[in-house]
Structure 1
Amino acid sequence: MKSGVIVLLSVCLALWLGFAHADNDAAPAPSTQAKAPKAPNRGTLFRVRHRGNTAYLFGTIHVGQPAFFPLEEEVTRALAHAGKLVLEIDIRKPEPFQLALHKHGIYPVGETVDRHLGPATLVLLKQALQEAAIPFDDVRHMKPWLLANMLASLDLERHGYQRSHGIEMFLLSLADKQAKEVQELESAEYQMSLFDTMSDAEQEQYLRETLAELGDGNALKKAQALIDAWARADGAAAETFMRNLLGETTASSRFTHRVLLDKRNPEMASKIEALLHNEETTFVGVGLLHMVGDTGVPTLLRRMGYDVEKLY
């Protein structure tokens, strides 16, 4: 079984969700000034060329630790040479998140999650919320998918994987220092709407899977496996991770296949294609799982006829 924590790591916006019932102020990005040995390769880096224009594609993770920074020189040099930074979304903006959250993750007034869950699932949810010190009445207006992602995000935070040390925050801090334009590939509204496409039954299954793996520790183990693959720039491990994930017959696996592969990857490739036609040099950072496999963004761009080179 693959829990919603892996879906969470594939959708940038979802990492706000651990703070949906509390604080939405982003913490400062890690400093780039600390003296350190030569940084190792992390994630994966591609260079895509078209008629003199270049797009660098960098695979990210949306949580991190201070030890991950600074990133290695080839990445920071590519960003320095780029005219703009392009990310899934600009995670510094809480207002679009709040609007999308209320539209897609919150029930209308008078409607609550206990009316949409079976008795057994409701018991499991209340137990998980109690262990997380979250009163049920504070979150009963949230939909099951939102509760699952919130609990998964908080679990990552408790184990030292913080949103404020996500790779996007680091890249944004560098872009700010270099007075670079920041552009979004997607939007808060779009990412949140993807979760809201699940039916009530799918949301309940997604929640139950997430609660089960949070309870037995497997959610953390699997998240760590993906984060470790990123931290070691281990493309083979990331590919294996994706194959294993898609081989499961779970709500989160089906959601990953339908949304991450069948929908978002082609959309991202098309938007990067537009950048290649209109921008001299851009730096694009998207989640690591978008970069791997036969339907990953680099492979799609190569099939579209572009010169795609894997730098590591």
Structure 2
Amino acid sequence: MHRHFVLVLSLLFSCFLSQAHADASADANAKNTALKTPAVHSQKSTAPQRGVLYRVSHKGNTSYLFGTIHVGQAAFYPLEPQVTRALSAADKLVLEVDIRDTTALQQAAARHSIYPDGQTIDQHISAASLEKLKQALQSASIPFESIVRMKPWLVTNLLIVQAMARAGYPAEQGIELYFLTIAKNEKKTVAQLETADYQLSLFNGLTDKQQEEYLLETLAQLADGSAIKKGLALITAWQHADNPALEAALLELQNEESTSAKFLQHVLLDERNPNMADKIGTLLKTDKKSFVAVGALHLIGDKGVPALLQKQGYKVEKLY
């Protein structure tokens, strides 16, 4: 399992939509429009199981937990009937972050991912790292001037997302937008477990040194192709609901010693999972039926959200 692509799966892709571009709102609208074309209810009987699906119960209330990826392609849709039926039966759709709130996304990006006036990325990384970054940006057809005030963590994530898009898996085909389309059509309430400000603040907690290490690790593996190769393997595991492959990916991550692997494991997963479980527990006490969609790796392992909910006494059933 490749540490950099797992980051894309674990981070809500909205972080990248607000990459200090003034047209973030227009992008979001275009992305929503792009996902209005799938026939969300004309389900194919042969639609395969994808991702991870749990049912959690408490005193007559039910919450379905679905593991997503934050990139995708049109061929993923429609999702299999068990998933869309669960969403249709729910009163509320719950995401990591409500990505429709572009104002909150822009404010969070300005606060956590953009240097103050007068500061630029070349002042925070070495000359050697800067040269490698410029080469990568040129290969990706991204002008250096467009990222000069972005912090290294954001530039790194931007390069990952663009690489996955070139490989055929753009963020605008991510599962969250598909679910939001259904929720809009069915006039469902949409809620969030976290905020954009909180998610981006986690990355901003990295020191300059850690951000530079994260950047260099990513550049090296994007250059040799291993990021995309292993990223596609992880997508394949999600496409086929291959839980053993997802669990193996998480185990490999736990055994890595890189800056990005440690950050993903200890901050993006271990720190967030208990909070997610607590929020879902509250949801189970207040809502009759809900549908929660979070990154698939949040649902894997003995520190995953389902395991934490089970330890808290909720009835947890793995559907696939």
Q: What residue number does 1:163 align with?
A: 171
2:201 corresponds to which of 193, 197, 220:
193
Aligned residues: 312
Range with bigger deviation, 148-157 or 20-29: 20-29
Give 1:171 deviation, angstroms: 0.7
SS of 1:160's partner is coil
SS of 1:12's partner is coil
CA contact (8 A) 1:2 1:250 kept: no
Q: What residue number does 1:309 align with?
A: 317
Range with bigger deviation, 23-32 or 39-48: 23-32
2:185 corresponds to which of 177, 191, 208:
177
Deviations 1:1-59 (A, max 9, x none): 94433212211145535865475313221512567452110001100000001010000
Alignment of 1:72-91 (within 5 A): 72-91=80-99
Q: What residue number does 2:5 align with?
A: 5
Query: Is the alpha carbon distance of 1:61 and 1:158 closer, same or farther for their aligned partners in structure 2, counting shifts above 3 Å?
Result: same
Give 1:260 deviation, angstroms: 2.6
Q: What residue number does 1:285 align with?
A: 293
CA contact (8 A) 1:144 1:203 kept: yes
1:108 corresponds to which of 111, 116, 140:
116
Deviations 1:157-180 (A, max 9, x none): 111101221111111111111110
Give the structure-2-normalised TM-score.
0.93
Deviations 1:101-147 (A, max 9, x none): 11100111001111111121111001011111222122111111011
Is the counterpart of residue 225 in structure 1 residue 229 in structure 2?
no
SS of 1:101's partner is helix
Q: What residue number does 1:50 align with?
A: 58
Q: What residue number does 1:32 align with?
A: 39
Deviations 1:210-264 (A, max 9, x none): 1111111111112212211110000000000111112111111111111133210
SS of 2:141's partner is coil
Q: What residue number does 1:138 align with?
A: 146
Distance 1:245 1:17 in 2: 26
Is the counterpart of residue 151 in structure 1 residue 159 in structure 2?
yes
**Amino acid in the other structure paired with 1:301:** L
CA contact (8 A) 1:64 1:166 kept: yes
Q: What residue number does 1:124 align with?
A: 132
**Amino acid in the other structure paired with 1:165:** Q
CA contact (8 A) 1:106 1:143 kept: yes
**Amino acid in the other structure paired with 1:182:** V
Deviations 1:82-107 (A, max 9, x none): 11000001222322111111110011
Q: What residue number does 1:203 align with?
A: 211
Cα RMSD for the two superposed structures: 1.7
1:69 corresponds to which of 69, 77, 91:
77
Distance 1:308 1:37 in 2: 27
Range with bigger deviation, 116-125 or 86-95: 86-95
Identity of aligned residues (%): 51
Q: What residue number does 1:238 align with?
A: 246
SS of 1:142's partner is coil
CA contact (8 A) 1:13 1:191 kept: no
Distance 1:158 1:90 in 2: 26
**Amino acid in the other structure paired with 2:250:** M
For structure 1, the residue ranges without an aligned partner over 5 or more in a row are none
CA contact (8 A) 2:306 2:316 kept: yes
Range with bigger deviation, 24-33 or 266-275: 24-33
SS of 2:93's partner is strand
Give 1:154 deviation, angstroms: 0.7
For structure 2, the residue ranges without an aligned partner over 5 or more in a row are none
1:95 corresponds to which of 93, 100, 103:
103
CA contact (8 A) 2:91 2:289 kept: yes
CA contact (8 A) 2:10 2:297 kept: yes
CA contact (8 A) 1:185 1:268 kept: yes
